[in-house]
Amino acid sequence: MTPAKITAAASGTWTLGDLPVNRLGLGAMRLTGNGTAFHFGTPSDRDRALGVLRTAVELGVNHIDTAAFYFSALRSANELINTALAPYADDLVIAVKVGPFRDWTGEWGTSARPEDLRGHVEENLRQLGRDHLDLVYLRRMRQDSIAEHFGALAELRQAGLIRHLGVSEIEPRHLAEAQAIAPVVSVQNRYALGRFDPQGEELLRLCGEFGIAFVPYYAIAGDAGAEGATARHDDAVREIAEAHGVGPAQVRLAWTLAQGPHVLAIPGTGNPDHLVENVAAGALRLSEGELARLEEAHRKVAG
């Protein structure tokens, strides 16, 4: 008998505002290119990228993270999502980020002004073929205050273009600033095993207290970041992976999800085999001893 495939439901669920999602989702950044990140390297194989998206949904992934600025020379993540998945399933939640932007050549522009954000939201709507966006993150671009930018998005939420709001790349004080303007359902910051950051730990804690989702990016990559999944795994990660008969990336994802029921994972991949492995990580349960060992490895960089 062929064993049943593990689906994203094994990771558990969380509700983003009023939108339930499985805690293991998909980041769309790596769908567009075969280089080290979405804006480098050669364009991805179109059929393969479309297949990854369709397989993800078949495996129960109902939370996809994307952005209009995720594109390579010939590929747009939003266009791929639209082509592969529209008309969209009722339970599919698509989150986008606004704030950063790139021109038609791919070059990065300066941070968007508050008055630019409506245009950025509308561009995502056009590319995705939707009349509203489920979740929009304001990605902070080193501004000291996010109040004006977040306020502009709050107005678009009131106008019905956005259902829920999130914030990204913030410090704890920015969360409080945003919450004073409109409800925040999710925080998306860089956070990974072995990359200890006191502010990240504080945001993780605060989100748990407030019932806000905490969504790490580069959770697999660690210090490698946009360069891709790291091969520099700690001994603890490699040994625990071997004990479970899984890959180190799956251990990293399982550790991420073990940080709290409010923690979601959005590993990005354009590889169908990696997609299946990432989804299966949602079913991996680490023992208390294994989690303690990984926590020690995580915090040793702060010593």
Angle at 264 between CA 91 and CA 302, to 5 degrees: 170
Which burial class, exposed, middle or buried, applies to 170 when counting CB atoms under 10 A from its CB (0-12, 13-18, 19+)? buried
Residue found by looking up tokens 């606004």 in the block: 98
Distance of CA 40 to the CA centre of its chain: 19
- Rounded CA-CA distance 23/266 in Å is 8
35 near 41, Cβ under 8 Å?
yes
DSSP H helical ranges for the chain: 46-58, 77-85, 117-128, 147-158, 172-179, 198-210, 235-244, 248-257, 272-280, 288-299
From the candidates 70, 191, 217, 218, which is the catalytic residue? Answer: 70
59 near 8, Cβ under 8 Å?
yes
- Rounded CA-CA distance 194/191 in Å is 9
Distance of CA 33 to the CA centre of its chain: 17
> CA torsion sign, 271 to 273 to 278 to 279?
positive
- Rounded CA-CA distance 62/163 in Å is 16
- Rounded CA-CA distance 83/160 in Å is 24
191 is catalytic: no
- Sorted by sequence, the CB contacts under 8 Å of residue 182 that are 6+ apart come out as 150, 153, 154, 157, 165
- Active-site residue list: 70
